[in-house]
Amino acid sequence: QRIFFKVLNSYSDEEIRRIDEFAKKIRSTAPNREKEVNLLSASFWGLRRDLVQNIGFLDEKFYPAYWEDLDYAIRAKRAGYKLILDPQTFVYHGKINNFGYGKVFLDHFKPFFFINMGRFLLKNGPTDIVKEMANWYIGLFKEKILR
């Protein structure tokens, strides 16, 4: 669910072509069948209406950011739903290099990662998803070190 892609410089035609070519390359190497997973980033969810009707909306205790999608994934799984990943789909959930207030935005939200991790653990306990999420962040950290 994590593929590193060089940050966009703009939304120019050239940059859009670059992201399309990258997505095409990913699709050519990815298996052509869906698979069940334990968590999905909310940045690329497609939800069924009956899921929202059965378990409700995101838990507002996680406002303004972080861990709400993992909490929702656990609630969905407990209600009997499956989380399905389509490896043929590429979603760019990133930023643009010249996005001026990006650092201010990140600095503002950083504390909420840890605050909401505590809320998540109090609500759900130490689930396998926490272990999976920790491995995801460790991979992200290692990738930044290697650059």
Q: List beta partners, residue 83.
A: 37
Structure tokens at 26: 């990913």
Q: At what angle do helices 128-146 and 68-78 cross, to 10 degrees?
A: 140
pLDDT band at residue 140, thresholds of 50, 70 and 90? Answer: low
Residue 117, phi then psi, degrees to nearest 5:
-60, -40
Structure tokens at 57: 């909306």
Position 57 scores a pLDDT of 96
Structure tokens at 109: 């939200």
Give the span between the Cα atoms of 91 and 1, in whole angstroms: 10
Mean pLDDT along residues 3-14: 80
18-34 residue pLDDT tens: 989 988 988 888 888 89
Give the span between the Cα atoms of 38 and 77, in whole angstroms: 8
47-89 residue pLDDT tens: 999 999 999 999 999 998 888 998 999 999 999 999 998 888 8
